[in-house]
Structures are given as C-alpha cells and as structure tokens.
Amino acid sequence: MMENVNLHGLYLMLDVAVLALPFLLSFDKKVAFFKEWKYFLPVNLAVGGFFIAWDVWFTRAGIWAFNPDYLLGPEIFGLPIEEWLFFFCIPYASVFTYFALRTYVKRNPLKNADTTLNIAGLIICFLLVWNFRNQWYIAITSFLTFFGLLWTTRKLKRWSADLWLAFFVLLFPMILSNGVLTGLDFWKYPVLHSDASIIRDQIVWYHPGHNTGWRIFSMPADDMAYNLLLIGMHVAGIEALKEREARKQRKA
C-alpha cells in the first residue's frame, strides 16, 4: 500500500524529473540551449528571487503551506529546499521549451493570433482581479499577469506568439507536475487509473479562501496565470538581455 512507502523525497524527485530531459537536450546541436545559459542564469536569479520573496510572504501568511511528509526537511527562510529548486527547474524546462519550439516549429500556428490571445488574457486577468479581489493568491497573480501581458504586447511583440505557443505546449506537463504537488490521485480519475495512486495527499496545500476554487484535476486553475507570469518574466528578461547585447554589437 502507498501509505507504507517512504515519500519524503517525492518533491525532490519531481524537481529532478522536470529538469532531467530539458537539461540533457540542452546540448542538442540545433537548439544548443547551453549557449543561452549566460542569459538564463542572471534572469533566473532576478525573477526567481522575486518569486521566492513572494513565496516566503504567502507561506508566512498561511496562503499556502508544505506537507513535511513529502519533503527532505531542510528549509531556508521557511521554504523547503525543494521549493527553492522549483524556481530553477520549472523555469529552466519552460524556457528550454520556448527555444526548442522556436528552433523546430518553422511556422508558428499562433503567429497571427497573439494579439487576440494577449487581449483575451488581459480581459480575463482584469475580471479575475475584479471578481476575486479579496482572495490574495488569484488577485495578486492576475494583477501582475495583467501588467506582464501589457508589457509583452507593447515591448515584446516579436516573441509574443512564441511565448503563447510554449505556454500551450507546456499545459499538459504543467497540469501533471502541479497535479502531483496538489494531490493528484489516479484512483479518483478512472480515465487515468493505474495499479497505484501517485499520492494520497498534497505536497503543497492552498488556503481555499485565497483562490478561485476551480480545479483542473487537482491543480488549482489559478496556477495557469501564475505559470504564465513565471514563464513570461523569464522569456521577457532573456529577450531583453539579448536585444541589449545586439544593440551594443551594432554600435561597436
């Protein structure tokens, strides 16, 4: 039975599983994502620092918490080390996907739809902030994502369609990984039934008073806006650095 299995390393296993394949494929000759590390690492340090500060605040406020049954134990500023790794592993896999799609998808099917998607995203974020203004997680996430989309629409128009394509491609792994974090149980979903449940409890617990309450399997639907913001800030930062370097080279 799953109750007798030691799952203290489950969150760490999830981090490693998310990172493993993108890291190995970073040395693919066509994508050569390792050449982007000089941009990714400083951006990840800045963006990750922002999200970790946010995480520390929300953890102390009781908006979310972590189940020690699935953690190794060590913490920094009240966050388990697995959560710190999350803000490297998830962005790395996401940004790798963004660059891999730009390399291998010659004709982005969303090329002429990005403006519509940006406007739809802005409207959805505005409505979420308005309707859930007293629920901190979804309100703050939607508020920040709203301004992130505004900036993308105005300053990063060339990469907007590529960002949306990466986001949609990442939806399935996002639902799966976030689902494991929030209690995905195969026994509950016959269509996904297997010989054993992945997990019978939540690695990350969300306070029900601070989100919409909408779920995709076990993942809070609010996480979609959160992940769009996380991915978008990384892509925006990397593209801004690359553009600044290109301008310097043109002037030299």
User: What are the distances in angstroms from CA 11 to CA 70, 85, 129, 200?
Assistant: 6, 10, 30, 14
Is the pLDDT at 245 greater than 90? The verdict is no
Is the pLDDT at 159 greater than 70? The verdict is yes
pLDDT at 143: 97
Average pLDDT over residues 126-155: 91
**Which residue do the tokens 């809070």 mark?**
220
CA dihedral 120, 123, 124, 126 (to 10 degrees): 160
How far is the C-alpha of 228 from the C-alpha of 141, rounded, in Å? 10
DSSP string across 25-46: HTT-TTT-GGGGHHHHHHHHHH
pLDDT at 200: 57
Query: CA angle, 118 as apex, 112 and 119 as ends, to 5°?
Result: 105
pLDDT digits (tens, 9 = 90+) for 185-223: 544 543 333 334 444 578 998 998 999 989 888 889 999
Average pLDDT over residues 110-136: 94
Residue ranges per domain, the chain?
2-251
**Which residue do the tokens 């909408």 mark?**
214
pLDDT at 7: 78
Please report which helix (H) or strand (E) contains residue 204, including its range.
strand 204-206
3 band by pLDDT with thresholds 50, 70 and 90:
very low
Distance of CA 77 to the CA centre of its chain: 21
For 87, how many CA atoms within 13 A lie in the half-sphere containing its CB?
Answer: 23
Average pLDDT over residues 3-31: 87
Is the pLDDT at 235 greater than 50? The verdict is yes
Helix (DSSP H) and strand (DSSP E) numbers for the chain: 8, 6
36 band by pLDDT with thresholds 50, 70 and 90:
very high
CA dihedral 124, 184, 96, 234 (to 10 degrees): 40
pLDDT at 75: 94
Tell me what percent of the residues of the chain surpass a pLDDT of 90: 69
